[in-house]
């Protein structure tokens, strides 16, 4: 690692002669592979952008020139080159480096991100702000071909095209060959030619000459230019937006990348460079299976990812995937929709077996929801598989296109609650507060795998909108019968433990979702009643009445934002029903949860058993016969 050890920031990089960059790229790729193998994280996408990252920092004067990444799961090389090499061993760990760009982590992270299709909008804003302040600054947005399926990217392109004064370069990182055919020497030569001064000068001169030409002649010249470029480059679409197109170019060829970027740096206005890369590049196992190596845990790079010695418990996503296939077999109306999360949402088997009823709409959450609404209008029963954090992006569509029209769309909300290493950008904290306020919405939270399956069947049987929220990872291992498509009574909770404390000390815990099992542990020590509430909306009002009548205090527990969450719903109903007993709402706090091991994050949020006990005793110490004990301990400490 002789070259890499000498790179503490991009200024060191820019001192190297160009002929040393390929060797540095090899060192950087090896360091990146070894680091991710120790910590886990996004691998395939980062291996594919090593040369591109080197070239961008080599050519542009970062951080004065702004570099904006889309999604950000391809920025590990960027982090290594911008002074964070020594901290890469802390990647995605509590108190360590984020797996995504963060403005508070480095001045080189000019825009925080982890969701898709935001880079062009942010970069355009930065470019126009620089012009308004009279600052000479280049702004570069790096966006993948997957992120280009998001409507927001095209909204930004549409806006960028009417701002020729914006000094904005868009780098389209095409890593699935989904836009262009394989590139070679001819395309590399053409990319350099089209980005060079001779072509630019000739083109600008032609524009000046044609300014005075009759409109038919001007239109003909434009068509001829577009058709000529279209023979070798798929850039007509971008040109129609008013964005100059250059490429495609091999994104792993530094001898082509650097001079092309140098040429484009000298040009102004909105322009787009199409770069073709390969996910997992340089590591044969990741090249062969980039999906498997997209976000691995710890592994030995010499051996690769090996299956666990013992079969792991099925995840909630797998439970959903099995239910999806079984229900589709039983009911031909089922149509499954996903915004580009087939593998993550457990839909691989369904996509293979029911290809005609499977719709991956790309990274386009808004379209996914309204598309599902259209299916429902015609008698279909669409199921939208979506992460909680991504459902936020389609909130207007959920309200306006589904709920308002009372359409039977099922939202299977994965990654609800704490997600661990992905951190605040992916934490599923807000779906409860967002959905429970919608008239007619039925919202459920299963405590285990069997309940998840039955709630999905319940949602599917309803004639209006519904949602089932479940967490990332596995549950408690509840046995699931794949022939079971039975439903649950809507709005019916279940008593799971009856407390035996005497009058005056009777405590009840109302749990929503898998946090039920943590509540049961705490209840053993407190001798408290525990209810699996199951339904967030509608609440079981009969159960609430019974609990209020038989207990002296109530604690609600949920793995969602405590503000406006399920606990708030219980408070609202208890107040409406006239009950005045004290209530403690426990859930995700009003702060951004940092990344780290899920157990650590859960403990930090106070939602492990020890945290529940601590919060309950602090609030209800006298009621539990432990008056002032927490206060004395705090004073002594």
Contacts (Cβ under 8 Å, ≥6 apart) of 384:
337, 338, 368, 369, 372, 409, 410, 411, 412
Dihedral (CA of 55, 56, 62, 65) sign: positive
What are the residue ranges spanned by the domains of the chain? 4-195+242-288, 316-469, 495-636
Kindly list the distances between the CA atom of residue 47 and the CA atoms of 63, 116, 256, in Å, as whole numbers in the listed order.
23, 19, 19
> Tokens at residue 545, please?
């009445």
Mean pLDDT of all residues in 108-125: 96
Residue numbers annotated as active site: 279, 365, 393
* CATH number for the domain formed by residue range(s) 495-636: 3.40.50.920
What pLDDT, in 10s, does the model give residues 23-33?
A: 999 999 999 99
Q: Are 568 and 536 in contact (CB under 8 A)?
A: no
User: Mapping DSSP to helix (H, G, I), strand (E, B) and coil, where does residue 315 land?
Assistant: strand
Which residue shows structure tokens 């002032």? 628
Domain 316-469 fold is: Rossmann fold (3.40.50)
Q: Provide the pLDDT for residue 194.
A: 57
Across 264-271, average pLDDT: 95
Q: 3-class DSSP state for residue 69?
A: strand
Enter the tokens of residue 322: 């099995």
Size of the chain in residues: 637
| 158 φ, ψ (degrees, to nearest 5) | -60, -40
Residue 215: the pLDDT is 72
Calculate mean pLDDT across residues 355-360. Answer: 96
Query: pLDDT, tens digit, for every residue of 447-481?
Result: 999 999 999 999 999 999 999 999 999 999 999 99
Q: What is the pLDDT of residue 351?
A: 96
Contact 108/65 with Cβ under 8 angstroms?
A: no
SS3 539: coil
Rounded to an integer, what distance in angstroms lies between the CA atom of residue 393 and that of residue 147? 14
CATH of 4-195+242-288, one of 3.40.50.740, 3.30.9.10, 3.40.50.970, 2.60.300.12: 3.40.50.970
CA dihedral 473, 477, 479, 481 (to 10 degrees): 10
CATH topology agreement for domains 4-195+242-288 and 316-469: yes
Q: In angstroms, rounded to a whole number, what is the distance separating the alpha carbons of residues 329 and 453?
A: 15
Task: State how far the Cα of 576 lies from the Cα of 247, in Å rounded to an integer.
Answer: 64
Cβ(321)–Cβ(332) below 8 Å: no
Euclidean distance between CA atoms 517 and 445, whole angstroms: 13
- Residues with Cβ within 8 Å of residue 233, at least 6 apart in sequence: 180, 187, 190, 191, 194, 245, 246, 247, 248, 274
pLDDT class of 629 with cuts at 50, 70, 90: very low
Q: Tell me how far apart the alpha carbons of residues 476 and 470 are, in angstroms, rounded to a whole number.
A: 13
410 CB contacts (<8 Å, ≥6 apart)?
Answer: 381, 382, 383, 384, 456, 459, 460, 466, 467, 468
Q: What does the pLDDT read at residue 636?
A: 36
Report pLDDT for 632: 35
Q: What is the mean pLDDT of residues 567-592?
A: 96
Mean pLDDT of 534-538: 98
Please, are residues 540 and 511 in contact by the beta-carbon 8 Å criterion?
no
Query: pLDDT value at position 60?
Result: 98
The DSSP secondary structure of 328-352, one letter per residue, reads: HHH-TTEEEEESS-TTTTT-HHHHH
Q: Which string of DSSP letters, residue by residue, matches 405-468? A: TT---EEEEES-B--STTGGGT-B-SHHHHHTTSTT-EEE--SSHHHHHHHHHHHHH-SS-EEE
211 has pLDDT over 80: no
User: Confidence band (pLDDT; 50, 70, 90) for 217?
Assistant: low
Q: Residue 623's pLDDT is what?
A: 83
What pLDDT shows up at residue 405?
A: 98
Per the CB < 8 A criterion, the answer to whether 99 and 87 are in contact is: no
- pLDDT band for 237, please (50, 70, 90 cuts): confident
Is pLDDT at 266 greater than 60 in this prediction?
Answer: yes
CB atoms within 10 A of CB 291: 14
The rounded distance, in Å, linking the Cα atoms of 466 and 537 is: 9
Angstrom CA distances, 215 to 16, 194, 202, 211, 243, stand at 50, 26, 20, 9, 21
Q: Band the pLDDT of 603: cuts 50, 70, 90.
A: very high
pLDDT for the residue numbered 310:
80
pLDDT of 239: 87
């Amino acid at each position: 690692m002789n070259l890499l050890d000498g790179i503490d920031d991009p200024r060191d990089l820019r001192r190297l002669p160009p002929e040393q960059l390929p060797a540095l790229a090899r060192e950087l790729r090896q360091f990146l592979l070894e680091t991710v193998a120790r910590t886990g994280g996004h691998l395939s996408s980062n291996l594919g952008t090593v040369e591109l990252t080197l070239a961008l920092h080599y050519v542009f004067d970062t951080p004065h020139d702004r570099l904006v990444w889309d999604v950000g799961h391809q920025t590990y090389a960027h982090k290594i080159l911008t002074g964070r090499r020594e901290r890469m061993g802390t990647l995605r760990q509590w108190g360590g480096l984020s797996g995504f760009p963060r403005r508070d982590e480095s001045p080189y992270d000019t825009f925080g991100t982890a969701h898709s299709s935001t880079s062009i909008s942010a970069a355009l804003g930065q470019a126009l702000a620089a012009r308004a302040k009279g600052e000479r600054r280049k702004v570069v947005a790096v966006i993948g071909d997957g992120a280009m399926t998001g409507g927001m990217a095209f909204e930004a392109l549409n806006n960028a095209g009417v701002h020729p004064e914006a000094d904005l370069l868009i780098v389209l990182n095409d890593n699935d060959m989904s836009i262009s055919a394989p590139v070679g020497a001819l395309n590399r030569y053409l990319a350099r030619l089209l980005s060079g001064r001779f072509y630019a000068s000739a083109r600008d001169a032609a524009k000046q000459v044609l300014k005075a030409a009759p409109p038919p002649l001007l239109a003909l010249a434009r068509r001829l230019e577009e058709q000529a470029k279209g023979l070798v480059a798929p850039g007509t679409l971008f040109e129609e937006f008013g964005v100059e197109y250059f490429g495609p170019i091999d994104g792993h060829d530094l001898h082509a990348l650097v001079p092309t970027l140098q040429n484009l740096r000298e040009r102004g206005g909105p322009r787009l460079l199409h770069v073709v890369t390969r996910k997992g590049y340089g590591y044969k196992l990741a090249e062969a299976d980039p999906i498997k190596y997209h976000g691995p845990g710890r592994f030995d790079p010499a051996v690769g990812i090996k299956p666990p010695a013992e079969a792991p418990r099925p995840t909630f996503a797998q439970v959903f995937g099995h239910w999806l296939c079984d229900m589709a077999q039983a009911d031909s109306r089922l149509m499954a929709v996903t915004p580009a999360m087939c593998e993550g949402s457990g839909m691989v088997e369904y996509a293979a077996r029911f290809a005609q009823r499977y719709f991956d709409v790309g990274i386009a959450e808004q379209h996914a929801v309204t598309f599902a609404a259209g299916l429902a209008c015609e008698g279909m029963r669409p199921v939208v598989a979506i992460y909680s954090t991504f459902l936020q992006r389609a909130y207007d569509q959920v309200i306006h296109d589904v709920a308002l029209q009372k359409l039977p769309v099922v939202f299977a909300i994965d990654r609800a609650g704490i997600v661990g290493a992905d951190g605040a950008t992916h934490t599923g904290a807000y779906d409860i507060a967002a959905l429970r306020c919608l008239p007619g919405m039925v919202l459920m939270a299963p405590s285990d795998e069997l309940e998840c399956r039955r709630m999905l069947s319940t949602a599917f049987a309803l004639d209006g909108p519904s949602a089932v929220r479940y967490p990332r990872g596995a549950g408690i291992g509840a046995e699931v019968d794949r022939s079971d498509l039975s439903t649950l009574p809507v709005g019916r909770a279940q008593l799971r433990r009856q407390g035996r404390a005497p009058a005056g000390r009777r405590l009840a815990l109302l749990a929503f979702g898998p946090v039920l099992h943590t509540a049961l542990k705490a209840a053993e020590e407190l001798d408290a009643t525990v209810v699996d509430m199951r339904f967030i909306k509608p609440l079981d009002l009969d159960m609430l009445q019974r609990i209020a009548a038989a207990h002296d205090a109530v604690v609600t527990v949920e793995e969602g934002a405590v503000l406006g969450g399920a606990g708030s719903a219980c408070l609202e109903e208890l107040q409406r029903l006239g009950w005045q007993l004290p209530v403690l709402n426990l859930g995700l706090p009003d702060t951004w949860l940092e990344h780290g091991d899920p157990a650590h994050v859960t403990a930090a949020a106070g939602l492990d058993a020890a945290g529940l006990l601590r919060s309950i005793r602090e609030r209800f110490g006298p009621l539990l016969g432990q008056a002032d004990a927490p206060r004395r301990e705090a004073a002594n400490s």
